[in-house]
Structure 1
Amino acid sequence: MVSVTYYCPYCGALTSLERDAYMADKCVTKEPLDGWEYASTTDEYEDADGVEFVCIGDAEDDPDAGCGRTFYLSFVKFEGGEPVDHRVPDIDRPRFDFLR
C-alpha cells in the first residue's frame, strides 16, 4: 500500500488515500464520470471504478482545512483490454449556441 495525495478541484486542499500502487488514476473531477461506479473512502474501493471524496483536507495535519464538497477520483477502466473513454458530464459543460 502507498499513500497517494490528491487536490480538491474546488478549494485546492490536499487529501490522501492509502491504496495499492498498481491502480492507475485517470482523473480527478468535480462531477462523476458517466458509466463509472464510485466507492467511498471507507468502502472497499479496489474493485470500484473510482473513489468519491468529501473534501476535509488532510485532517491529521490541519483540522480546519477543506471545503466539505464532494469530488471524484476515477481510475482507468478497461473493456475488452482497451481503456474506456469517458464522457464529460453535462453539468457545467460549455455551450456554444450563441445564435439561438
Structure 2
Amino acid sequence: MGDKGYSSRMIRLELRRRGIKAVIPERRDQIANRKRKGSRGGRPHVYEALTYKHRNLVERCIGKLKQWRAIATRFDKLAGSYLAGVTIASLMLWLRQAELSDTL
C-alpha cells in the first residue's frame, strides 16, 4: 500500500508487472488530467478504500516503534536480534496501552 505520493504510471506498471495489486488512491491532478483527456484518459484507478484506511493504523504503529532508538537506527547486525528488539518494543507498547485502558 502506498499513499498518493506513489500514484504514478511507472509505479503502477511495475506493481502490475510483479503481480501486486496497487492500493493507491489517485491524486487530484491525475483525476483532472484524465477527465480533461475525455475518452482518451482511460478508466479511473480502483482501490479498496477500507484497506487503504488500515494503512494509517500500520503507519502509526511503525511511528511508535521508531521511538525506540535501537529500532529506528537498527543497531543490531543480525535479523534475529532486530526481530527480538521489535518484538520487545511491541510488547511494551501493547502493555502500556492495556494499562492506560484499564485506568480509564
Q: Scaled by the length of structure 1, what TM-score is found? A: 0.22
Larger CA Rg, structure 1 vs 2:
2
If asked which structure has higher relative contact order (CA below 8 Å, sep 6+), I would say 1
Q: Scaled by the length of structure 2, what TM-score is found? A: 0.21
